[in-house]
Structure 1
Amino acid sequence: MSSDPIPQPGLGTSGHEGEACTDAVVEALEAGYRHVDTAQMYDNERAVGRALEASDVDREEVFLATKVHPENLAREDVLETTAESLERLGVESVDLLYVHWPTGAYDPEDTLPAFDEVRDRGWTDHVGVSNFTPDLLEEALEILEAPVLANQVELHPRLQQDDLVSFARERNVTTVAYCPIAKAEVNEIDELREIAEAHDATPVQVALAWHYGREGVVPIPKGTGEHIRENYSALEIELTEDERERIAALDRGERLVDPDEAAWNR
């Protein structure tokens, strides 16, 4: 598996389906990505698996993550559906298996030991959680025998989650950022446009460069076509301290993904 715990950046595949999903993953791997993120909920694990098979990049070089659907979080369902995910992906194991949401069938005392068992069976190298609050993350750390490698949450310049990122960092948990460019809304932020102009870049690239510079954060932008390479090339952008402070001032606590049952709404 990858020597770097979680390669930077990852390719998010939410909303990608079928051949278009396969093409995007193949192109991302050709561009240099070594981290691919999928989920049972996305209904595209087979398409991702076809991309892994078609790519010239060896499976051992790719950090592959998937997530267990909230409805499948009872112990036996975790085991059964993880095996099904591996079959769809065409792999013997994944690098990271997440609890997708602490909702639905999620019961910490029942669900989390099942993730330990999945790891013990060799079906995943690491376990993680997604959409967890600090309290729920702390509880998971106490119950799991395996370390929690990551907490995947919505994160972008309008929702910076400093407290959650710091809480995770102090516990050696990486924060994986979904919606890292706020569904392209960063293109409409004047400050990011100005910073982008100074770097001969796009606002999207500046937002990603900001993520890349945050300790303990790995963004997983979605993308197709030329945007895949554009997102990856943002690794080359070095923001100044002043620019990072200007971006820090953009935080509004604005969520784009906010279901009523989410833990932060209880």
Structure 2
Amino acid sequence: METITTQGVAMPRLGFGTFRMPGAAAQPAVENAIALGYRHIDTAAMYDNESAVGAAIAASGVNRNEFFITTKVWHDQLAADALYRAFDTSLRKLGLDYVDLYMIHWPSKDMDMAATLEALMSLRERRLTRAIGVCNFNLPMIRRAVEEIRAPIASLQIEYHPFLSQAPMLAYLREKGIPLTAYAPLAQGRAASDPTLAFLGQKHGCSAAQMAVAWLLDQEGVIVIPKAARPESQQANLDALGIWLENEDRTAIAALPKDQRFVRPPFAPDWDAL
């Protein structure tokens, strides 16, 4: 598995997302993913499956240091004391001594960004997390985190798929050496039925969904964390690692609409802010 080294940690470029796998139902899916070879597992307090993820890790028999485990703090727990409590709860549910990446899941309008990031940095200094990161920050937010607060951001996790451009953000992150972790890489299932992706997939002997994953993996500094409950889909995403795009593929996917954002909670930041 190819990795990207960021802030001293190596992140596998293809991870296993667990959003919308609540409760114990997540455990067999994660166990199967580990058996297939996934080592980068992405969870969050809000997903309500950290205990199941932890149980799957424990049952796997795989050495802890082979895993890259990410979890996240919800946006109503960003004051330092609340964040520390949330982290302790996550660590206990996971049954781990540390996580590899701890992230702010969503920014909140009233958060003290400097204080929140300092709390994350404190966890890193205490080696309770190997790295820290943020999700769903817009460009002004990530600029402030990196340039003013000087937080050692190891990754920014945002929605990214063939129907949504992240060009300005990618340009900034590449300049700073920060990988982008793409969530909802299949556009919440829409990629699987896209005619252009299906046509390209026929040429490569793969599915439309695999083309979407391959397109993301084709890009410099991009990590992909598709969710897949079914073993066949888990394997298909792994197989996308072996798909090599040609220039005509890139041109065809570039021509798809790039303004389709599907994750729009009421507390999201202003995505158009530059």
User: Among residues 243, 253, 257, which one is paired with 2:249 in the alignment?
Assistant: 243
Q: Which residue of 1 aligns with 2:155?
A: 150
1:193 CA drift (Å): 0.8
Change in 2 beyond 3 A, CA 1:176/1:201: same
Displacement of 1:21 in angstroms is 0.7
**Taking structure 1 as reference, are residues 95 and 105 closer, same or farther at Cα in structure 2, changes over 3 Å only?**
farther
User: Relative to structure 1, is the Cα distance of residues 105 and 39 closer, same or farther in structure 2, using a 3 angstrom cutoff?
Assistant: farther
Amino acid at match of 2:214: A
* More divergent stretch after superposition (218-227 vs 17-26): 17-26
What is the alpha-carbon distance in structure 2 between the residues aligned to residue 153 and residue 45 of structure 1? 20
Q: Look up the SS of the partner of 1:28 in the other structure.
A: helix
- Deviations 1:136-192 (CA, angstroms, capped at 9, x unpaired): 001111354541010000000001311111211111111000000011101221110
Contact 1:113 1:143 in 2 (8 A): no
Alignment of 1:1-266 (within 5 A): 5-103=10-108, 106-144=111-149, 146-224=151-229, 225-264=231-270
Asked if 1 retains the 8 angstrom alpha-carbon contact of 2:117 and 2:151, the reply is no
Mapped to 2, the partners of 1:239 and 1:207 lie a distance apart of 11
Distance 1:125 1:143, change over 3 A: farther
**Unaligned regions of 5+ residues in structure 1, if any?**
none
Kept after mapping to 2: 8 A contact 1:209/1:239: yes
Q: Residue type matched to 2:240 in 1?
A: A
Identity %: 38
Write the letter of the residue equivalent to 1:255. R
* TM-score normalized with structure 2 length: 0.92
**What whole-Å deviation, never above 9, does each CA across 1:44-95 have from its counterpart, x for those lacking one?**
1101000100113211101000001101100111111111111110001100
Q: Which runs of 4+ in 1 moved over 2 A?
A: 17-20, 142-146
**What is the CA–CA distance in structure 2 between the aligned matches of 1:159 and 1:82, rounded to whole Å?**
32
TM-score by length of 1: 0.95
Preserved contact between residue 23 and residue 48 of structure 2 (Cα < 8 Å): no
1:104: how far off?
5.8
Q: Which amino acid aligns with 2:266?
A: D
Q: CA distance change for structure 1 residues 137 and 250 in 2, over 3 Å: closer, same or farther?
A: same
**Structure 1 pair 3–172 and aligned structure 2 pair: CA distance change class (3 A):** closer
CA pair 238-190 structure 1, distance change in 2 beyond 3 A:
same
CA–CA separation in structure 2 for the residues paired with 1:120 and 1:105 = 26
Is the partner of 2:132 in helix, strand or coil?
strand
Give the deviation of 1:252 after TM superposition.
Answer: 2.4
1: CA distance, partners of 2:236 / 2:33: 11
User: Distance in 2 between the 1:117 and 1:108 partners?
Assistant: 14
Note the alpha carbon deviations across 1:24-56, whole angstroms, 9 max, x for none.
111111111110000011111101000100113
Q: Given that residues 154 and 179 in structure 2 are in contact (C-alpha distance below 8 angstroms), is that contact kept between their aligned partners in structure 1?
A: yes
SS, match of residue 270 in structure 2: helix
Quick check: 2:50–2:93 contact (8 Å CA) kept in 1?
Answer: yes
> Do the aligned residues in 2 keep the contact of 1:126 with 1:146 (CA within 8 Å)?
no
Displacement after TM superposition at 1:239 (Å) = 1.0
| CA distance in structure 2 between the partners assigned to 1:249 and 1:6 by the alignment | 30
